[in-house]
Structure 1
Amino acid sequence: MATFINLLQILIFLVTAINASDDDVTWAKRVVTKNEVITTLQFYFHDKLSGQNPTAIRIAQSSQTNNNSSTLFGMLMMIDDPLTVGPDPASKIVGRARGMYGSAGQTDFGLIMVLSYGFLDGIYDGSSFSMLSINPVMQPVREMAIVGGTGLFRLARGYAIAHTYMADPATGDAVVGYNVTIATYV
């Protein structure tokens, strides 16, 4: 009898995972358990500082900062960056990252990220998560904290792993890949 109950529990878990298909959303997976929902997201963040239509603009710079500072300490940017399923800017847009980041390191290039990642695709349309964390940009892979959210991500906690896909030092433009794990309550 105990084996039958264990088998039944596994079957229910698998059916729940299969039914959480996210109605054709390919960049996100959602697994519902008894007490929580674990969502994994994969998308690309396009930060464009150059050209006629930048998605990130400098809004402040400390008068105390030496303009030749290698870390740009004291610089603050406001962003409205597209989030896409692939690294190509023409790939499907699934959301936008909006908020601010600023250079918070005097000796190393670390950005304080204060952003809301809002989504437009499938069951995630209208949901967002919030990030508040240091992004040590020069590291090839970095981990940042997720501290809350709205909609399907209400009371979110989790982390984002970011890796730079492309960065142009001449323009400041960058494409960053994100792998995100979010836990919420059922």
Structure 2
Amino acid sequence: MSTMVIFAWLLVLFTAGTSPAVRGKYYSDSHIVDDPVTIKKTQLHFFMHDTLSGNNPSAVPVAQPKGTVVQQGNLLPFGAVYVFDDWLTMGPDPNSKVIGNARGIYASTSRGSDFTLLLSGDFEFTSGGFNGSSISVFSRDPLVLAKEVAVVGGRGKFRMAKGFILMNAVYFNVTNGDAILECHATVFH
């Protein structure tokens, strides 16, 4: 073998074990943060308008169950998936001041009579002191008039938020699924 080939093989062997990709880690070592963290508690009160009917709905089906018998008139059969872009307002009247929007997905996850959704959404505020900030929700959402859903994060002033939203249906149309939910959010951030 030529000296050049031997040198190339030696170079490959000696540098193969020193590659950062081989020795690197996907995490950093944990350490105690010296700075005390101040946790704020913010309470919000707003209304969410979820409209499935009409020419301009704010929630639309994007997937229907396959191989499942769907009863006529059942808006949320097991396996149905909806996306939503709902207004958040100051009051229950649809014409009250818009303060943000809630965007996300909900899916029907119950096969029984206890209608339940899985809710994943981002509630962004577009006015006031929290303009540009949002709270993220990921929770089981039972279809009852009063319920609680989990706040699991956020953006902007609500970065790393946790908490909950108590939702109460102030309007619900059982025929078309339209709803107005009063939301009392408690957010720790």
Q: Provide TM-score, normalisation by structure 2.
A: 0.76
2:9 is matched with which residue?
none
Aligned match for 1:60, one of 38, 58, 63? 63
Q: Which of these two proteins has the greater Rg computed from alpha carbons?
A: 2
2:15 is matched with which residue?
none
Cα shift at 1:65: 2.3
1:124-177 Cα offsets, whole Å, 9 max, x none, are 110011000011112x32111100000010000000101111111122111011
What is the count of residue pairs matched by the alignment? 150
Residue 125 of structure 2 is aligned to residue 122 of structure 1: no
The 2-side partners of 1:143 and 1:172 are apart by 19
Aligned match for 2:116, one of 105, 110, 118? 110
Runs of 4+ in 1 over 6 A off after TM superposition: none
Structure 1: tracts of 5 or more residues without a match: 1-33
Q: Provide TM-score, normalisation by structure 1.
A: 0.77
Query: Which structure shows the higher strand fraction?
Result: 1
The 2-side partners of 1:93 and 1:65 are apart by 39
Aligned match for 1:93, one of 83, 95, 98? 98
2:39 is matched with which residue?
36
Pairwise CA RMSD? 1.4
Whether the 8 Å contact between 2:65 and 2:77 is mirrored in structure 1 is no
Amino-acid identity (%): 38
The 2-side partners of 1:82 and 1:41 are apart by 15
- Aligned partner letter, 1:159: F
Structure 2: tracts of 5 or more residues without a match: 1-36
The 1-side partners of 2:56 and 2:133 are apart by 26
